[in-house]
A and B are shown apart, each in its own frame.
Chain A
Amino acid sequence: MTEILSRHRPLALLAGVIFAQVLLLAFQIKREHDVRLVRYWAVQLLTPVERVGTWSFSKVGGAWSGYVGLRDTRAENERLKREVEKLSMRNRELESKAAEAQRLATLLNFREAHPEAPMLAAQVIGASADPTSHTLFINRGERDHLRRNLAVITPDGVVGKIVEVFPSAAQVLLINDKDSGVGALFAETRTHGVVKGSGDPEPRMEYVENGEKVHAGEAVLTSGEDRIFPKDFPIGTVESAAPGNPFQVIHIQSAAHLDRLEEVLILLTQQELSPKKVEEVPGATPQHQPAQPPVATQKTSPSAAAAHTAPKKPRPAASPGPESNAPSGVPVPTPQPSPSVPPQ
Chain B
Amino acid sequence: MSYMLNAGAHSKPNIEVHKFYGGSILLVAFLSLVIQAFLHKYGRWAELLDLPLLVTIYFGVSRRNPVTGMLLGASIGLLQDALGHDNPIGMYGIAKTCVGYLASSVGARIDTEHPISRFGLVFLLFHFHQAVLAITQRVLLNQPAPFFTLRLFLDSIVSAAVAVVLFALLDRLRKSS
Contacts and interface: CB of A to CB of B under 8 A. Distances in A.
B104 to A, nearest CB: 8
**What band does the interface of chain B fall in when counting residues whose beta carbon is under 8 Å from A?**
10 to 19
A22 interface: yes
A18 B140 contact: no
Contacts of A37: 140
A28 B97 CA distance: 19
Main secondary structure of the interface of B (DSSP, over half): helix
Interface residues of A, number: 15
Interface string B40-75: 000000000000000000000000001100110010
B94 A22 contact: yes
Given A10-B101, A14-B70, A14-B98, A25 B78 contact: no
Contact of A18 (B67, B71, B98, B141): B98
Contact of A21 (B97, B141, B142): B97
A28 B78 contact: no
Nearest to A25: B90
Contact of A29 (B70, B71, B88, B93): B88
A13 B88 contact: no
B25 interface: no
A336 to B, nearest CB: 115
A10 B140 CA distance: 25
Given A14-B98, A14-B101, A28-B88, A21 B78 contact: yes
Contacts of A22: 90, 94, 140
Given A25-B88, A25-B89, A25-B90, A10 B142 contact: no
B134 interface: no
A10 B98 CA distance: 12
Contacts of B71: 17
B136 interface: yes
Given A18-B94, A18-B97, A29 B78 contact: no
B102 to A, nearest CB: 9
B122 interface: no
B164 interface: no
B163 interface: no
Contacts of A17: 70-71, 74, 97
B93 A21 contact: yes
Interface string B127-154: 0000000001000111000000000000
A28 B98 contact: no
A249 interface: no
Contacts of A39: none
A70 interface: no
B145 to A, nearest CB: 14
Main secondary structure of the interface of A (DSSP, over half): helix
A10 B142 CA distance: 30
Interface in A31-84: 31, 37
A99 interface: no
A85 B94 CA distance: 78
Contact of B74 (A10, A21, A29): A21
Contact of B67 (A10, A21, A24): A10
A22 B78 CA distance: 12
A14 B74 CA distance: 10
B157 interface: no
A309 to B, nearest CB: 117
B121 interface: no
A17 B67 CA distance: 10
A31 B142 contact: yes
A22 B135 CA distance: 12
A24 B94 CA distance: 10
A25 B91 contact: yes
Contacts of A29: 88, 140-141
A17 B93 CA distance: 9
Nearest to B65: A10
A24 B89 contact: yes
Contacts of A10: 66-67, 70, 101
Given A17-B71, A21-B78, A21-B90, 12 more contacts: A13-B67, A13-B70, A14-B66, A17-B70, A17-B74, A18-B98, A21-B97, A24-B93, A25-B90, A25-B94, A25-B136, A28-B88
The 3 closest A-B pairs by CB, nearest first: A25-B90, A10-B66, A28-B88
Interface of A: 9-10, 13-14, 17-18, 21-22, 24-26, 28-29, 31, 37
Interface of B: 66-67, 70-71, 74, 78, 88-91, 93-94, 97-98, 101, 136, 140-142
21 contacts: A10-B66, A14-B101, A17-B74, A17-B97, A18-B98, A21-B78, A21-B93, A21-B97, A22-B90, A22-B94, A24-B89, A25-B88, A25-B89, A25-B90, A25-B94, A25-B136, A25-B140, A28-B88, A28-B89, A28-B90, A37-B140
